[in-house]
Amino acid sequence: MSMKLRSMVLSGCVACLLGVPLAVGAQGQDAGAKAQGQAPQVGQDASTVQTGPDGQLQISGAMRKDVIKCAAGQKVEIAGTTHDLQLTGDCGEVVVSGNANKVKIDGAKAITVMGVGNKVTWKRGEPKQETRGTNNTLTREK
């Protein structure tokens, strides 16, 4: 299997896996919401920001729009779909995975973008850069 095809398959698997918990979580709310004529909950309350065991920030879910401060050198992992995030401060390693995420970073030591259709920009520094997947962009903000 070619590296490009393997990357596309992996990206699709990640997207499917990330969507499963959202669909399962929304189903419980969906039944009550339909009874009251409301839509299932998405966005800020359907995603999470947690601090991992090593102090890294872990952001997951879908459709989160937020400004998040990272401590100097702090690792940030973003997974999910259609997030619109701004990371302030000088982060350590930033990993963005999933689909159609838009992430603006003030500064980072390293940036990795995986998945499909993610757009990541940074302002300061010369981070180590890696992109995998399809239609991802990683550019310095102008």
pLDDT of 9 over the 50 cut: no
Q: What is the pLDDT of residue 45?
A: 53
pLDDT averaged over every residue in the chain: 77
- Model confidence at 139: pLDDT above 90: yes
CB 75 within 8 A of CB 58: no
pLDDT of 50? 85
Whether pLDDT at 2 is above 70: no
- For residue 55, is it left (φ>0), alpha (ψ between -120 and 50) or beta? left
Residue 48 has pLDDT above 60, yes or no: yes
Q: 18: how many CB neighbours lie within 10 A of its CB?
A: 19
The end-to-end CA distance of the chain, in Å, is 38
Which pTM does this prediction carry? 0.69
Give the position of tokens 């940036």.
Answer: 111
Judged against a pLDDT cut of 60, whether residue 123 lies above it is answered with yes
